[in-house]
Structure 1
C-alpha cells in the first residue's frame, strides 16, 4: 500500500525553508514601527470622534490606552486588567480600586474609557468584563437604594449568557471584599450623583447615543475599543495593525505615549529605515529631563508621603525621616539627614522587588525615631512601585487604624498584622495615589516581611 503523500513530496526542503523565511519577513514587515504608528494615529482619530459624539472626556485604560489619546484631551487614567476578565478568573481588584474614575464621572457626568486589543478579538476583556464587574460592584456599594443598576451588564455579542451568569454569581462576594476595606462610602458617594451605566463602542458602530443620554439617573461610562478587528482592506491605512499599541515594550524602542504625541509630526513622516535612530534620539533627549514627582500624602495617615528619588533632594528639608530605595546611597541626603536618612539598597524592576525582602527589616529602626508629629518621606526611582511597598509596610507596623503613628511601636512586626489589615492599608495608598503601581513581586516581599 503506498504511503500517504507528504509535504516534502510537494516542496523541496530548501524551498520550504525559503517560504517560511519569506512569510516571517512579510509578517515582520506588516508589524513595522511605521505601520504601528500609522495605525495608532488612525485609531486615535476614531477615539476623538467618539469623544465628540458623546461630548464626554477621555480616560485611558493603561498601559496602552494613552497611545490613542492626545495628551491635551486626556482627563485621566485607569488601570483595569484584562486578566481580571479572563474566563474563570473573573475578579474585582482590591489592589487597583480605580476610584479616581469616580472623580471624572462626578465632574462631567460620564466618561469614555479607551483601550484596544490585538488581532482575533473585537474588544479587550478589560472592557467587556473587568470594568462591567467594577461598575456592578460599586453601584451596589454606593447606591444600595437603586437596585435597577445593581445587575451586571456585559456586551451580549461578546459575553455568552452562561459566562455572564457565572460572573454575576460572584458579584456579592466582590462587594463583601470591597466593603471589608472599610472605605469612606459616604465620601465616595458624594463624589458622583448617580450610579454608572456602561455602553460599548467599537470602530464601525454608529455613533448615535440619543437613546441613552439626557437623563440624570445615571453616569454614562462609554467603553471604547480603539482598534478595529475588521480586515485591513477596510482601512485607509493599507497595512493596518489591530491593537498596534499593545505590548509596546517589544517594538517601540523606549518610545512612550507622551513622546509619541510630542513628536507626532516628525515620527509620522520619517522613513521606516530612519525611525529606529530617530526614536533613539528622542528617547535619549527625554532622559536628560528628569521628571519630579511631588510628594503625595497617604491619607488618613498624617505622617507619610510618597515621591520619587529625584524629588527627594528638593524636599528633604520638609521631612523628619527620608527613606530611599535606590542602587546607591545618596551622599547629599546622608550628609544632610545623617541617621534620619534610611537607604534601602534596591535596583529597579523585579530584581529590586526581590531585594526589598531583605531590606525591609531596616525599617525597624523607625520605632525609636518617630514622634506624633513626625513626617516621613518614602521614595524610589518612579515613586510608584518600591516606595509603595515600603509605605505599606510602615502603615501596617507603625500606624493605628485612624492613621496616627503608634508611639508604643517596637522594632518587631506587631502580632495584629494580618492579610486583611494589609489589604486595608493598601487601599489607603491606592485611594490617595491612584497611579501607584506596586508589582506583584513588591507586594510579595512586603507580605513576607509582615507575615513571616
Structure 2
C-alpha cells in the first residue's frame, strides 16, 4: 500500500518527525502569537491573561497580565465536570471587575478548535461565580429586611444607608442577573450542555461553604459571561463589539492555534504545528516563554537551520542558568550593593506574587520558592523561621564558621536518601554579614532566628519523606512559639506580633504547600491566624476532618496563586490527620 503524501510530496511520517523540531514549534508559536496580538489590539481595555502553562507561550511578556490563571481541561472532561476549589483563581475576578472584562489565552493540539479549559472549564467557573454571588446577595437582602423589621419593632432609628453598609447589601437586580451556563454550540452538544447546567447550583453551594461571597456581592455589578474567539472566527476587525454597553463582564476565551489536518500543515519555510506550546517539557530544550521572547530574533533568525536553532536554544538556557548563579547572593558575604538594596529585597519578599513568595493571610505563614529562602537574606528580610522542603541543599558557609556546628541540631525525622532533618538556631549578632545594626535594640540582637531543613524529594519519591517530615515541622513551629513566649517574658517585651514563617521548596508549588497545609491545620486558628497549641506535646497528634483540611487548602490556594499541590501530596496530609495509625512523632535527638 502506497504511503500517503501531501501536495508537496512529503509523506506524513516525515512531517510527524518534523513536528518535533524545536524550530518548527517556535515558528508555529510565533505565528499564533501574531493572531493573539491582533485580537488583543481590538480590546485594549482588557488585560491579557495566559492559562498556565501552555497559554504563556503565546503572549509577549511585556503585554501579559501577571499572574496568569490556572484552569485545567480535565475539570471540563465529559462526565467528570467539576468546579475545583484548588483552581478558584480569585485574582481573576478582581481583574475582571477592575477592567470590565479580560482575555484568557490558551491553545490545543489537533482535533479541536478550542481546548476544554476554554470551552467548558471556564464557562463552568463563570456560571458558578454568578450563581454563588446571587445566592449570597439574596441571603443578605433577606437578612437586611429582617433586621430593618426588627429595628422598626423596637423603634430603633437606623437609616437604610447604615443598615445597608452594615450588612453589605448589594443592589442586585435578581430578575436580570444571569446565572445560566453558557457554552459554545459548535463544540458542546445539547445533552452535555444540559448535564453541566444541572451541576452548576451544586458547584455554587460548594464554593459558598469555603469562602464568603459577600464582598463580591457589592463589587461584581454585572454577571460574568464567556465569549469565544478562534482563528476560524469571523470578526469585523474594523468594527469590534463594544462590550461596555452589554449587561455582563466578558471573559474572552481566545484559542490561539489554527485547526489543520492531522495537526500539521506546511508553510513557507517551516511546518506549522497546531498547539505547539502544549507539553513544553517534551520539546522546549529547557526554554521558558520569557527566554523565548527575550531571544526570539536570535532563535528565529532568517535562514536558520533546525540544528542551529537547537544549539542556540541550549546556549540561551546555559547562559540564563549561569547568570542566575552569578547573581545569586553568596552566603556569608554582602557587597555594598547588597547593603543598598536591603529595603528593596525586603519589599520584594513581602509582596505576594507567583515568582517569589505569598502571604497566607491571616496566618503568619508565607510560601515561596528557593529564591525567597536564601541564607542569610531570608532572616534579614524579616522571617523568624525558614523551612526548606527541598531534598538537596548545599552546605551554607554560614554553618561552617567557627562555632557554627553548635547552631545546628539534627532532628529525628529521616527524609530523602536517609538524610536527617536539621534545625539551625542563630542570633542576629552572629550573622557574618554587613547589616545595619545601629538601629537594632539589644532585644533584637539577642533574638533567635531559625532555619529548618526538611529533606523531601520531588515527585513520588518524596511521598514517604513528606509523611515523616510533617510531625517534624509541626513540632519545630510549636517550639518556636513557645520559645518566643519565654523570650518575651524574660525580656519584658509586650510586643505580641506573630513571627513570620517562610516555607519554601524549589518552586513553591507542591512540597512547601503540603507542609504549610499541615501547619495551618495543626498550629493556627482559622479565623484569626493566631498560634494554637492543638497538639500540646510532640507525642500527641491532632486529628482533623476532611472538610476542615479542605478549607485550609482553599485558604492557601486563594493566596498562593502558584500553588499546584499534587494529589499524592494532599493524600499524605489527609493520611496524617485522618489515619487511625499515628505517624512517627517528631523528637529531638
Task: State the TM-score, normalizing by the size of structure 2.
Answer: 0.69
2-structure distance, mates of 1:27, 1:419: 47
Tell whether 2:260 aligns with 1:224.
no
Cα 1:324–1:155 shift into 2, 3 Å: same
Question: Over the residues paired in the alignment, what is the CA RMSD in angstroms?
Answer: 2.6
Answer with 237-246 or 418-427: which moved more. 237-246
For these two proteins, the number of residue pairs brought into alignment is 433
Answer with 436-445 or 364-373: which moved more. 364-373
Summarize the alignment of residues 188-337 of structure 1 with structure 2, pairs less than 5 Å apart.
Answer: 188-190=216-218, 192-208=220-236, 210-211=240-241, 213-215=243-245, 217-231=247-261, 239-269=271-301, 270-288=304-322, 289=324, 293-301=355-363, 303-312=364-373, 313=375, 314-317=377-380, 318-328=382-392, 331-332=395-396, 335=404
> Conserved in 2, the CA contact under 8 Å of 1:143 and 1:195?
no
Aligned to 1:388: 513
> Conserved in 2, the CA contact under 8 Å of 1:115 and 1:124?
yes
2-structure distance, mates of 1:122, 1:306: 37
Aligned to 1:163: 192
SS in 2 for 1:239: strand
Task: State the TM-score, normalizing by the size of structure 1.
Answer: 0.89
The Cα offsets for residues 406-448 of structure 1, whole Å up to 9 and x where unpaired, read as: 1454233323x11111111111111112222222222222222
Answer with 318-327 or 58-67: which moved more. 318-327
Aligned to 1:64: 54
Deviation at 1:235, TM superposition (A): 6.2
Aligned to 2:160: none
> Conserved in 1, the CA contact under 8 Å of 2:266 and 2:272?
no
Answer with 229-238 or 212-221: which moved more. 229-238
SS in 1 for 2:574: helix
Deviation at 1:143, TM superposition (A): 3.5
Aligned to 1:367: 478
Structure 2: which 5+ runs fail to align? Answer: 5-10, 136-171, 329-348, 350-354, 408-422, 426-449, 483-495, 580-589
> Conserved in 1, the CA contact under 8 Å of 2:23 and 2:306?
yes
Aligned to 2:28: 39
Tell whether 2:470 aligns with 1:436.
no
1-structure distance, mates of 2:178, 2:268: 40
2-structure distance, mates of 1:70, 1:438: 28
Summarize the alignment of residues 371-450 of structure 1 with structure 2, pairs less than 5 Å apart.
Answer: 373-402=498-527, 403-410=529-536, 411=538, 412-415=540-543, 417-450=544-577
Cα 1:107–1:61 shift into 2, 3 Å: same
> Conserved in 1, the CA contact under 8 Å of 2:378 and 2:386?
no
2-structure distance, mates of 1:120, 1:242: 9
Deviation at 1:277, TM superposition (A): 1.8
> Conserved in 2, the CA contact under 8 Å of 1:354 and 1:441?
no
Aligned to 1:7: none
Looking at CA atoms only, which structure, 1 or 2, has the larger radius of gyration?
2
Structure 1: which 5+ runs fail to align? Answer: 1-9, 17-21
Tell whether 2:466 aligns with 1:356.
yes
Cα 1:28–1:354 shift into 2, 3 Å: farther
Deviation at 1:92, TM superposition (A): 0.6
The Cα offsets for residues 324-380 of structure 1, whole Å up to 9 and x where unpaired, read as: 112245644765672433221112334235531222121231323315623221111
